[in-house]
Amino acid sequence: MSATAQPISNVATASAITKPPLKIFRNLQSKIALTPMMATVIVVFIGCSIWTIVYSLTSSRILPTSNFAKDFVGIDQYTRLFTSSRWQLSVRNLFVFSIFSLAFTFVLGFLLAVFMDQKIRFENTFRTIFLYPFALSFIITGIVWAWALNPAFGLQKSVRDLGWTNFTFDWIANRQMVVYSLVIAAVWQGTGLMMALMLAGLRGIDDEIWKASRVDGIPKWRTYWSIIIPMMRPVFITALVLFAAGAVRTYDLVVAMTGGGPGLSSQFPTVYVYEFMFVSNLAQGLAASSVLLAAVAIIVIPWAFYEFGQKKS
Amino acid sequence: MSSTALAIDPTGPRPIRRFAPSRIFIYAVLIISAIYFLIPLYIMISTSLKGLEEVRLGNIFSLPMHITFDAWDKAWNKACTGLECLGMHTNFWNSVKITVPSVIVSIAIGAVNGYALANWRFKGSEFFFIILLVGSFVPYQVMIYPLVLLTSKMGIYSTLWAVIMIHSIFGMPVLTLLFRNYFASLPAELFKAARVDGAGFWGVFFKIMLPMSLPIFTVALILQVTGIWNDFLFGVIFAGPTNYPMTVKLNNIVNSIQGVREYNVNMAATILTGLVPLTIYFVSGRLFVRGIAAGAVKG
């Protein structure tokens, strides 16, 4: 960072030798060019988030309250939120979904990347096949997997037609298991991206390390376990943060695949937010989305410090 | 020492034996994985080519006995959502009308941002950039209601303008990052030489930086076209029913509960919706991977 900043400031001072301009006019063009970005940061990323938190402290119902002082209710919406069984179920679903989809995507993505890194033939073909789901909308993924897992037509029926008439695979229609059917779809969609990230990480590792470990006669799996995996920690952390923050956002997939059902059994926090925000109780929806904000902050802020903090030193 | 020993090692790099058990294992794993990833695509295509009776009787893995494009015709021209039976074709054009301007505006803003941040930093510019990046992780739901208010105050809520604006806003973090890293990687001498020749902020941008950035523009284009085409949430909230993009229409067709569920039409509609991003993906290949990797990996 500072390496590139150095020559630029030299240029700036060189041209400014004649007459030192007022501080605010320094780099004026750049400031004008970045106005849309700064406005977006202030109005949208900061302003809208604060607005949401502030109005989650009111009793706004269909529309935001016009008399803030009168409708201020403190943390009532949050108390209601955390005692709501529907919200508790949503959070539980999100946890199960995130942990399982993350674990499977991570392990499968890494293993595929390792296999792809063995100087195999048709590497491009395999990569294309593994990654194409990522090019598709979550809506498409949800619809296709809902169809493939539909007990009356899909996998269950096909296996029964083969002769195993007692075979049961009805996760998508089963209240206890429906969240795992979402995991299947999410893993299908995300593993290719994970593989691409991991493969880029593996390719970034110096060949000398492989040579050295071969000279020392260390078996390949040991090299991976004791040398390569520890070296790939930054890639792992980035991928985990990325996918974890993505999991908190999961919305389209649920809408398309299960619609939050059967009953309310595949409710997700985002679905809860949407339904309260636009249907029945605005402030409740705002409170729920503020909790999502906090959840993401817990994931992202430590990572941001880790990422950006190190570079400064 | 050990590296020189390796260089004169008489055996050289060990040749790969094609039929060694470990090689067979590797290929077996890769092929099985490939089949798992391809099954849904196969189900989509084969179901869409079947007639409705065949769909109801046969299983989803069987090949169509009589290939028919009726489902495709119906999906495009007259598939229903509730009482309305207009098919996907108007929504295809809605998606085009949303995607084209959104891509142009968001890339233009992203390129200027990236250029300014890479070459013309000022006090606080990096601070805004970091907030922008961290903010891109925040679930959209947190910001969406105030944005609905904002766009309706501006009088553009439920119009194409609103979706275009929202896509430009939320495309900003990734695109700014992409362009900033790219412009920072160009040799600083170029910038200095142009400055010495008297080029200003925009002069350097248009005469030096832009002509050199075709590769990164292509990557940004792929990233944005696929991302915006696949969007659902912004379309459903900001576009308004007459402007619904294809993804929203698709979901409405599949999840409208009236009458018989026509799975073959649903699958045809799904393929039609996925055709644009899939085509881009297959044509652009490595560039797509570069785009998502650049969008995913840190600055």
pLDDT at B4 over 80: no
Nearest-Cα residue of chain B relative to residue A141: B40
Share of chain A above pLDDT 90, in %: 47
What is the DSSP annotation of B185-231? HS-HHHHHHHHHTT--HHHHIIIIIGGG-HHHHHHHHHHHHHHHHH-
Q: Is B270 an 8 Å CB contact of chain A?
A: yes
Checking if the pLDDT of A311 tops 60, the result is no
Which pLDDT belongs to residue B16? Answer: 57
Under DSSP, is residue B84 helix (H, G, I), strand (E, B) or coil? strand
**How large a percentage of chain B has pLDDT more than 90?**
47
Residue A185 has pLDDT above 90, yes or no: yes
Residue contact B37–A130, C-beta within 8 A: yes
C-beta atoms of A248 and B298 within 8 A:
no
Q: What is the average pLDDT value for chain B, to the nearest integer?
A: 87
State the average pLDDT over residues A221-234. 90
Among A147, A192, A242, select the one facing B263 at the smallest CB separation. A147
Query: For residue A236, what is the enclosing H or E element?
Result: helix A233-249
d(CA B73, CA B49): 11
C-alpha distance from A176 to closest chain B C-alpha (Å): 22
The larger pLDDT score, comparing residue A17 to residue B126, is at B126
Listed range (A86-90, B12-16, B97-101, B238-242) with the worst mean pLDDT: B12-16
Give the model's confidence band at A313: pLDDT under 50 very low, under 70 low, under 90 confident, else very high: very low
Q: Does B279 touch chain A (CB under 8 A)?
A: no
Amino acid at A260: G
Checking if the pLDDT of A101 tops 80, the result is yes
| pLDDT per position as a tens digit, A143-164 | 999 999 988 888 888 888 788 8
Residue of A66, A86, A150, A108 whose CA lies nearest to A243: A108
Task: Average the pLDDT over B24-31 and give the result.
Answer: 92
Is the pLDDT confidence value at A3 over 50?
Answer: no
Q: Which of B22, B18, B26, B7 is nearest to A214 (CA)?
A: B7
pLDDT band at A21 (very low <50, low <70, confident <90, very high): low
Residue A123, pLDDT above cutoff 60: yes
In angstroms, the CA A31 to CA B155 distance is 28
Q: What is the pLDDT of residue A131?
A: 92
Out of A179-193, B186-200, B274-288, give the one with best mean pLDDT: A179-193
pLDDT of residue A175: 84
Length of chain A: 313
pLDDT at position A75 is: 87
Give pLDDT, residue A176. Answer: 85
Alpha-carbon distances of B268 from B90, B94, B109, B232, B249, rounded to whole Å: 16, 18, 36, 19, 13
Chain-centroid distance of CA B23 in Å reads 35
Q: pLDDT at residue B23 above 80?
A: yes
Burial class (CB in 10 A: 0-12, 13-18, 19+), A156: buried
Give me the mean pLDDT over the A152-180 stretch.
83
Q: Report residue B230 as tokens.
A: 């696949």
Q: Give the lowest-confidence range in A4-18, A270-284, B63-77.
A: A4-18
A27, A277, A278 ranked by CB distance to B120: nearest: A27
Asked if B251 and A143 come within 8 Å (Cβ–Cβ), the reply is yes
Is A301 near chain B, with CB under 8 Å? yes
Q: What pLDDT is recorded for position A276?
A: 92
When mean pLDDT is compared across A100-109, A277-286, B34-43, B56-65, the lowest value belongs to B56-65
Q: Pick A245's closest partner by Cβ from B59, B125, B137.
A: B137
pLDDT at residue B15, rounded to an integer: 57
Q: Give mean pLDDT, residues A210-215.
A: 89
Chain B CB contacts of A249 below 8 Å = 139-141
Least confident of A130-139, A181-190, B187-196: B187-196
A264 shares contact with chain B (CB less than 8 Å): no
The model's confidence at residue B11, banded by pLDDT at 50, 70 and 90, is low
Can you give the pLDDT at residue B38?
95
Q: What is the mean pLDDT of chain A?
A: 86
Q: What residues are paired with A72 via a beta bridge? A: A58
The model's pLDDT over A30-79, given as tens digits with 9 standing for 90+, comes to 888 899 999 999 999 999 999 999 999 988 888 888 778 788 888 888 99
Q: Model-level pTM greater than 0.90?
A: no
Length of chain B: 299
Residue range B171-204, pLDDT digits in tens: 999 999 999 999 998 888 888 888 888 888 898 8
> Is the sign of the CA dihedral B44, B46, B47, B49 positive or negative?
positive
Query: What pLDDT is recorded for position A119?
Result: 86
Half-sphere exposure of A114 (CA within 13 A, CB side): 17
pLDDT at A217 over 50: yes
Q: Average pLDDT for residues B32-59, to the nearest whole number? A: 89
Pick A241 or B2 by higher pLDDT. Answer: A241
What pLDDT, on a 0 to 100 scale, did the predictor assign at position A181? 94
Average pLDDT over residues B11-23: 66
pLDDT of residue A20: 58
Chain A residues within 8 A of B60 when measuring between CB atoms:
147-148, 153-155, 157-158
Share of chain A above pLDDT 70, in %: 91
Least confident of A268-272, B97-101, B197-201: B197-201
Contacts of B140 in chain A (CB under 8 A): 249
Q: Is A66 on the interface with B (CB under 8 A)?
A: no
What is the arithmetic mean of pLDDT over A11-24?
Answer: 56
What's the token pair of residue A79? 């108390």
Per the structure block, which two tokens stand in for B204? 């350097």
Q: Name the band, by pLDDT with cuts 50, 70 and 90, for residue B10.
A: low
The pLDDT value recorded for residue A274 is: 92
Runs of H (alpha helix) within chain B: 2-7, 21-48, 52-57, 70-77, 89-119, 125-135, 140-153, 160-185, 188-196, 201-204, 214-230, 233-234, 246-255, 263-284, 286-296
A61 touches chain B (CB under 8 A): no
Q: Is the pLDDT of residue B28 over 60?
A: yes
* B299: three-class secondary structure by DSSP: coil
